[in-house]
Each structure stands twice: as structure tokens, then as C-alpha cells.
Amino acid sequence: MEGTTVYDMSGAHIGTVKRLMIEKISGKVAYAVMSFGGFLGMGEEEHAIPWGTLTYDTSLGGYRTTITEEQVRGAPTFYREAGYDWLDRDKERGLADHYGIPYYWGI
């Protein structure tokens, strides 16, 4: 999983899966942390993108997503905050709303 390339819908490389974030209570994958930008690991940015936006494409050997690089660059990065409360649904709603997708946990 780590190191798998992420492509936009046109097939352009937009990043790489760095790790997965699993929701503690349900045990479901909630997000893939994607890295992009930088050179040789320096200057990379990391952002959580909702797991449900990724679809594996065997012809590319990576994931396709409807999320654009511009959306990722403007996304909230709350998960890196020290002491972040992982049960704070308001912040997760903000992230899902930013990407324009349904909440992975339902309403």
C-alpha cells in the first residue's frame, strides 16, 4: 500500500500513498495520507484524502481519484495537530465538505 501512486481522473500523477488512517471504533480505513510535491523527499506536503475517493486501476498500477491536486493543496491538515481529538466529527465534516464527499461514517 505505501508508495502506491495516486493519479487524477486524466491519469496524471498527483501523489503517493504514504500511510493509511484507520478509524478506531469501526476499524474502517478512513483516509489515505498522500504525499506530493518536493524533490527527493524534501519539501513534500502530506494531506489526508478520504479513502472512499480512491479506486485501484490495474492498468495504471495505482489509485485514481476524483480529487484534484488543487483540492489537496487547499485541504485542512488537522490530523498533524498535536493533541488532535480523533473523535471530533466537526473537523472531519470540514474535510469531507472541502472535498465535496459524503461522510464515511454516515450522518
Would you kindly state where each structural domain of the chain is located, as residue ranges? 5-99
pLDDT value of position 27:
87
Question: Has residue 10 got a pLDDT over 60?
Answer: yes
pLDDT value of position 41:
58
Strand intervals (E) in 5-107: 5-7, 13-22, 29-36, 45-50, 54-57, 62-65
pLDDT value of position 84:
64
pLDDT value of position 106:
63
pLDDT single digits (tens) 47-66: 888 898 999 999 999 999 99
CATH classification of 5-99 is 2.30.30.240, yes or no? yes
